[in-house]
Amino acid sequence: MNSKSLTQLSLPVHGMSCTGCAAHVEKAISQLPGVSQVKVDLKAEVANITYDPHQVDLLEFQHAISQVGYKVPTAEITLTVKGMSCLSCSSHVGGALGDLTGVLQANVNLDKGTAQVTYVPELVSSLHMEEAVREAGYQASAAEQAALPSEHNANQVTEKTETAHGEKFTWRFKSLLKRS
């Protein structure tokens, strides 16, 4: 492999509890074509991968990791995209998003003016996505985000009330996730 074409990636991996787990993840990733080196840091829950992006991609890493029982944490976001007028436009937007490291999938809907993106939050943010769309010549803004709390409500208390066997039960949940 030509070292000039190699890329390094620190991919988060959840679900590992021992060195055996880390070894399973390392083996699964190292067997993919184009991977020249992989080292899993169990404590940091990260797989540090050196690879050729022309031979292997993030989706293949995610699939290999899930095949051995572990998970790459992902989220979904809907971007509102303005300025698209044809299929070529939506293709440009999809390509711009798909080229970002950390984006697993981008589905652009020309009629709705949206892009539904599945991504790894530790690798790419909605701001990166908006910038990539702007650089492609369109305007984008985050419309909806799933699986991650927004910054303004990260410490918000959620209350849920249910009735069971004639009695009312109330639960309170406080989001402990903090985004930096």
Dihedral angle sign, alpha carbons of residues 35, 128, 45, 58:
negative
For domain 75-148, which architecture applies? 2-Layer Sandwich (3.30)
10 Å Cβ neighbour count for 42?
Answer: 16
pLDDT truncated to tens, each residue of the chain (180 aa)? 556 689 999 999 999 999 999 999 999 999 999 999 999 999 999 999 999 999 999 999 999 999 999 999 999 999 999 999 999 999 999 999 999 999 999 999 999 999 999 999 999 999 999 999 999 999 999 975 554 443 333 333 344 444 444 444 444 444 344 444
* Residue spans per domain, the chain: 3-67, 75-148, 149-180
Give the fold, CATH level 3, of 3-67: Alpha-Beta Plaits (3.30.70)
HSE-up of residue 86 (Cα within 13 Å, Cβ side): 1
Q: Is 63 helix (H, G, I), strand (E, B) or coil?
A: helix
The rounded distance, in Å, linking the Cα atoms of 101 and 82 is 23
Instruction: Evaluate whether 3-67 and 75-148 have a shared fold.
Output: yes
Task: Give the model's pLDDT for residue 3.
Answer: 60
Spatial strand order in the sheet of 7-12 = 7-12, 46-51, 35-41
Please list, in sequence order, all residues whose beta carbon lies within 8 angstroms of the beta carbon of residue 73, skipping any fewer than 6 positions away.
12, 14, 120, 121, 122
Beta strands in 54-156, from DSSP E residues, in sequence order? 75-82, 103-109, 114-119, 139-146
* Rounded Cα gap, residues 114 and 119, in angstroms: 16
